[in-house]
Structure 1
């Protein structure tokens, strides 16, 4: 494919040949960029010279043969007996001696007496040293009596193997120089005119010239890729897209190989440094001189591979990287990071090179400063909402860091920022941070952010453990006064005390990433509290606040304050607003959080279908629900909603799922155990319900968050006890709840008064229920209101009051509106709303047999057997009863022997488990 008009160059060579015929020896050096057509020009001239009767000798140097002495010379004289090097008996393997060169030159001159001798040597820069030595001898001994024309080609800016030969050529007065130039835009248009299928495409010529840089070799390759290809260009628009690995890419490889020995590495260094690719920095990066770099860059630029903005095309960059030796690119990035860090470059720039310096699947080996640089760059990414990149940087920092204290800090930070993407992964990072804190001597300043995040995510047991570690550390001045005040506000178990009215206790649905901000204390930096919040101020705050990583904690606290106020619907509205805002940030963790909060709010409003829908929506945003403790917050809302709706099969499917071993260590577990207890109560598994509820009560008291507004476990227990006929104990629990600070809240007071009425004399019940209904109307909880109305209807019916029918009708309507199928069924068909003093739950014959079977067991054995029958694992039983796993196993062995069974599955389902004493539950 002829693209280049070389008439002028051919004419010059023909003139040199005519001079040679006339006895005027000539030397012609064809010097140009890689791919400019030097070899094509030499071959064309050699063919023409031979056709005129000249003796044409041809050889081409190659990088592979450059170390073979006399290789080029043997190729040049091949087929000429008079110039057979083997006839020179003293010719050694390392080159020709002086006498041998004279003899060979004499023979060459004798041949020229008959006809001119044209010695054509392509790629002079690849000619071996021994052959260059003879050619230099020939050039030096040119005289008027010989007819020898020496034509050689050499790549422009190529660092020659022996610079002395090029210098010798330049000294010869008989030497002339030809320098083929890149094609201009006009010449590309002319070349394209030879391909009718391409000439009609708008912008094609301009694109070809831009991508090839006018390099004929690259241009030819581009045209070959697009000739005959029917693309969008065939409709009249230019669409030049060189393919990786195609003809253009292969031409790029050829040019790179022709540009010099180190040009490939230089091109890679240019890719690595991008806009910072100065001559000085490139020289430092690849370990060479600035002169060598300047020469290499000139070679790349003249060949059309390099422009002012870097390597000319993405395929050029891809081709360079594909042909680097393994590990070279990573080494360049690593060295670039070292150089730039030493120069004080920005953390983000240095971090970019550190990331690229670690091939996939390898362990990074960085200097000590690297971890801090990566952490700093990660914080910049967080500020710009580039969370995935921040996570990657912190992950690399953790893998490359040997300092255990820093590793704990990195994992804590990862847990904080990953939460917006995946709560489950965030929990894993936090678990690793706690594990690291147990084994390493982490300072107080390093432990405080971890403590904050544990509390914020509701991991109260681990928070207590970390609080203990902090207490054991000496006063080292690292924690400021405000931090010490925060620690002092926590009880000995490490939980926030109830004495702080401004402290917003952790919610199963609010694992705020406040640990991301070491100076922030959960609740302390928020103007909102769970009790007594001003909804107008809160709404004003929410309207003025944009959703960011820094504002999520106060936004969640504000919404929680609304959902625990009398303005519950407004809280649900803001959950929807920020859930929709989370979609814009592509933050599944935030979506899960606000959907879960909304589901909880809707459940409190009595919108069971809405609660079910948004709980499912929240769960869909959690990547692995089985291992995420947070997912059990939404799962608890789903379980409660389905239980109230009478969807027992679907609720049972939730209950039967195994729970994480860590769930009982978090507030997420509290919500789930309460929900499971309500399912057990609805399905008349009262002992199982009590186990879960008393477990909730123990944990809430231990963690210092025993607030009915958070979770009213006492009235839940009271409902179970009423069904079991234990009215006195139920009454005691209700009175205790009514004496607590949250009892002023309409929802807590209304729920408590309804249960108090159930334990009171029938004549007093209507009055108490009237008061409960008044409070529940204010609270917004329509299901709780319907339940209280149903109780009032039953109480009035028992007293013969005709108002009972109207009250029951309102309760029935509310239950239907809320889709509370179980309550609706009870109101419609009647049922015992309360247990009369002294009454017992009716038992089936099987119940009695199982109770009698368990009579032979000790109290301890009965407790263990009851929990085992409810499918608790030995480890879970150990935690609930505060005994060792070995003791559990011993009890079960004795139970099996006494009951004459051999396996766990044969345990009776209704063994009489004696729950905690009332005094323990208060």
Structure 2
């Protein structure tokens, strides 16, 4: 389909008419590759043959460029004349220079015979891709071109206008007086619209013409392929005609064109003129780029026009060419001082890193990719560096980095690196930093035996049987004492160091002891606070969280953050722990660290359990499993499982809790603190489902483990409270009282939540009068700790005690408060238990509501709202949040309410304030 070629055909028609009149011409039909020169030649040939011309045609190619008289032989064969190599010569054919001259004379004679045929019938000699014609043929043809001035012959040479293409031919042709030059240019935008109208219709042509012109530059070949792709049944996303047409243009053009296209595809955004020239073999980049732009292959800025062009060029490379080009590109960028991440990108594409410089570039680039939140790219850099390094110690260090980077994304996938790391550790190729990291990951995956062997090797490097206080080994031992106590050894007192160095180092005289793992020391301190319940633990944990920047380049920041959150939770700072969980989860999500995001979400679930927000606990624990599949949790699976089991049990979904209990967990989990949480959760479920003996066994197992580990003061799990409740249920109040006494005798740093739970159980073994005193104190402790579920249980016990003492009005008030809090927690079994024994409380309810107590009329609206919410069981902080005031304002209002109603404390508030609760809320 010829578009915008009317002028060319008109001039060719004039040349044809002149030839018929005996004035032959030589036509040089030139233009960029795939501009439609051959199509124009075919149209002219059809036109000439219709006018009586005889067509003699030859097609040249790069492969036949060195074959002597190859082009002329094609013409002779087409004309029915003998070829030059077959021309008869008398006697034996001479060889050497004499033989060459004989062949030249034969060629001249045959060419003359060819031209003489025009006397009987006009002759059209057409040579396509004449830039590839052999020099011998061109020489003969040019010598006879002078005879064309009086012959009925038209010679059409289709030639490329590439700057370095066939310069001798051009120089000689320009001297010919009978030469006509016709340039075939690319289509304009209006030409593209006309072209597309015939292919796609007028509407699509008008809509697509501008974009298609920009993508093809007006090249008819590329334009046709793009139109076919657009009209393909599966749509343009799956059609590949454009890429094939582009490759056709590149391979048909000058070799420099293909070389530059490949260099552009490989260097991409790293392309510079010098880099392109070096990678493409020293070509003139500017000249070749101008020629490719004129052919529609490149845009004006020197880049590919079509977004799929680069991929098409890369797919055309063989694997060997692909690797070689990218390897050379990486070397060129490194020599030019480019950023290591750019060098590494090309090394990864090459699939090899030859030389120490390449390995270093990959490792540095991996650090950058980690900071840029691209863990997959970082892992790819480290994997190539590990495969390419020839130094065993360096390889071990790289492999440790790779294991740590993979752990952030998926511990199960990263575990494949642990076995070679253990082997490297046995061979002595790991430093302390890598060894400590290996121990942590082995323990996470439940491989305690291998972790023990690595620990033994670390310990062998010390002078004594135990670690010196303040050393990095001591930090590791303290962390082990909390996380995996069976593997920990006590920290000794011998050695030069007598105090813990700072985060970066400690100065002793003139020597600075640098620490390879600064965050390991903080993790050790927090672990020690958790295991021993040291004073000031919450303040220390909050300081660590404020200092923390969750960086995946530091191996112990995530562990430190988790320990800090647990410290806040064990210190009854649940609200603060919840806030930090949300912050850290968002930070981990922003930094593409799903492992730690899942861990922080699991801690948030535990916080929700402690707060009595049971539905939220289930939601967060399940979200943790969504972020990190169960197979990737290792021994840490005990944390989200424990929250799920406790929350679903207290909600009343016992079958669901039983399914989570039946989940297969690693045996090594029971040798870590995660196992204690799981055992406690299982005991709570057994107690709720009336398997009291099994529950007692679980709680006592917790206690035995903690005593064996030396962590029972007070220990991570308050097992005595659960065991005491089981003993009460089994009718053994004396044993329950003994367990509660032991729990209350723990150090003063024990949490108020645990003390409140213990006092509630102690009250169950006492007379009603004494029990009310204990329950009142327990309620205050649990309210300060923010545990609403335990508050509901205390309120229920207080209701029963008041009823036993005959104080029915207070019993009803406590019952309603307990029921409200239980419902707010979604603790349906507890609420049902309350309702099942509420007959005596509910009968006087309406009368009490209709007869307000004296003094109600003296309360202001604000005081009545605060008092109503207090009757419902809300804490001061919750009341402040609902009424948009400060907690101190709530306290002031309650003080005035107590004075006006002549009562002493919250528990004495009259229950007839309850009807105002809906308006207050």
TM-score using structure 2 length: 0.71
Q: Which residue of 1 aligns with 2:675?
A: 669
Q: 2:143 aligns with which of 140, 144, 153?
A: 140
Q: Which residue of 2 aligns with 1:900?
A: none
Q: Which residue of 2 aligns with 1:266?
A: 260
d(CA) in 2 for partners of 1:222, 1:781: 68
Q: Which residue of 2 aligns with 1:894?
A: none
* DSSP-derived class of the 2:308 partner: helix
Task: Judge conservation of contact 1:244–1:318 (CA < 8 Å) in 2.
Answer: no
**Is 1:447 the counterpart of 2:445 in the alignment?**
no
Q: 1:357 aligns with which of 350, 372, 387?
A: 350
Q: Which residue of 2 aligns with 1:875?
A: none
Gaps of 5+ in 2: 502-514, 838-921
Q: Which residue of 1 aligns with 2:374?
A: 386
Deviation per CA, 1:314-333, whole angstroms, max 9, x where unpaired? 23334333433345334422
Greater helix proportion: 2
**Is 1:152 the counterpart of 2:185 in the alignment?**
no
Q: 1:486 aligns with which of 475, 480, 490?
A: 475
Cα drift, residue 125 of structure 1: 3.3
Cα drift, residue 310 of structure 1: 0.8
**Is 1:314 the counterpart of 2:319 in the alignment?**
no
Task: Judge conservation of contact 1:26–1:149 (CA < 8 Å) in 2.
Answer: yes
Deviation per CA, 1:365-402, whole angstroms, max 9, x where unpaired? 65444444333223323333334444444455455556
Superposed, 1:427-576 pairs within 5 Å as: 437=425, 441-450=429-438, 466-473=454-461, 483=472, 486=475, 493-494=487-488, 518-521=517-520, 523=522, 556=562, 559-576=565-582
Q: 1:425 to 1:688 in 2, by over 3 A?
A: farther
Cα drift, residue 817 of structure 1: 5.1
Q: Which residue of 2 aligns with 1:41?
A: 40
Q: Which residue of 1 aligns with 2:215?
A: 211
Q: 1:351 to 1:784 in 2, by over 3 A?
A: same
Q: 1:414 to 1:685 in 2, by over 3 A?
A: farther
Q: Which residue of 1 aligns with 2:245?
A: 251
Q: 2:184 aligns with which of 180, 183, 208?
A: 180
d(CA) in 1 for partners of 2:17, 2:189: 33
Gaps of 5+ in 1: 232-240, 359-363, 504-515, 831-922
* Most deviating of 258-267 and 68-77: 68-77
d(CA) in 2 for partners of 1:488, 1:394: 30
Q: Which residue of 1 aligns with 2:326?
A: 333
Cα drift, residue 273 of structure 1: 0.7
Deviation per CA, 1:781-827, whole angstroms, max 9, x where unpaired? 33334545666778899999999967984796355654545556777
Q: 1:470 to 1:200 in 2, by over 3 A?
A: closer
Deviation per CA, 1:77-124, whole angstroms, max 9, x where unpaired? 235344555861359999982342243234234334545544211112
d(CA) in 1 for partners of 2:751, 2:499: 14
d(CA) in 2 for partners of 1:631, 1:489: 22
* DSSP-derived class of the 2:522 partner: coil
d(CA) in 1 for partners of 2:79, 2:472: 94
**Is 1:305 the counterpart of 2:297 in the alignment?**
yes
Q: Which residue of 1 aligns with 2:60?
A: 61
Q: 1:105 aligns with which of 86, 89, 111?
A: 111
Q: 1:454 to 1:321 in 2, by over 3 A?
A: closer
* DSSP-derived class of the 1:59 partner: strand
d(CA) in 2 for partners of 1:462, 1:700: 24
Q: 1:263 to 1:770 in 2, by over 3 A?
A: same
Q: 1:497 to 1:201 in 2, by over 3 A?
A: farther
Superposed, 1:663-742 pairs within 5 Å as: 663-683=669-689, 689=695, 692-693=698-699, 696-697=702-703, 700=706, 706=712, 708=714, 710-720=716-726, 734-741=740-747
Task: Judge conservation of contact 2:32–2:160 (CA < 8 Å) in 1.
Answer: yes
Q: 1:440 to 1:680 in 2, by over 3 A?
A: farther
Task: Judge conservation of contact 2:648–2:656 (CA < 8 Å) in 1.
Answer: yes
Task: Judge conservation of contact 1:538–1:558 (CA < 8 Å) in 2.
Answer: yes
Task: Judge conservation of contact 1:54–1:118 (CA < 8 Å) in 2.
Answer: yes
d(CA) in 2 for partners of 1:662, 1:70: 84
Q: 1:768 to 1:457 in 2, by over 3 A?
A: farther
Q: Which residue of 2 aligns with 1:374?
A: 362
Task: Judge conservation of contact 2:635–2:669 (CA < 8 Å) in 1.
Answer: yes
Q: 1:458 to 1:87 in 2, by over 3 A?
A: closer
* DSSP-derived class of the 1:151 partner: strand
Q: 1:400 to 1:661 in 2, by over 3 A?
A: farther
**Is 1:637 the counterpart of 2:637 in the alignment?**
no
Cα drift, residue 152 of structure 1: 1.5
d(CA) in 1 for partners of 2:399, 2:711: 27
Task: Judge conservation of contact 2:744–2:755 (CA < 8 Å) in 1.
Answer: yes
Superposed, 1:84-99 pairs within 5 Å as: 88-89=87-88, 97-99=103-105
d(CA) in 2 for partners of 1:537, 1:519: 16
d(CA) in 1 for partners of 2:539, 2:433: 37
Task: Judge conservation of contact 1:497–1:705 (CA < 8 Å) in 2.
Answer: no
* DSSP-derived class of the 1:107 partner: helix
Q: Which residue of 2 aligns with 1:883?
A: none
Measured on the aligned residues, the alpha-carbon RMSD in Å equals 5.2
* DSSP-derived class of the 1:609 partner: helix
Q: 1:432 to 1:686 in 2, by over 3 A?
A: farther
Q: Which residue of 2 aligns with 1:619?
A: 625
* DSSP-derived class of the 1:520 partner: helix
Cα drift, residue 596 of structure 1: 2.1
Deviation per CA, 1:289-310, whole angstroms, max 9, x where unpaired? 324x566434422211012241
Cα drift, residue 778 of structure 1: 2.9
Q: Which residue of 1 aligns with 2:788?
A: 782
TM-score using structure 1 length: 0.71
Cα drift, residue 312 of structure 1: 1.2
d(CA) in 2 for partners of 1:566, 1:692: 24
Superposed, 1:706-855 pairs within 5 Å as: 706=712, 708=714, 710-720=716-726, 734-741=740-747, 743-754=749-760, 771-787=777-793, 809=815, 813=819, 815=822, 818-820=825-827
d(CA) in 1 for partners of 2:578, 2:433: 37
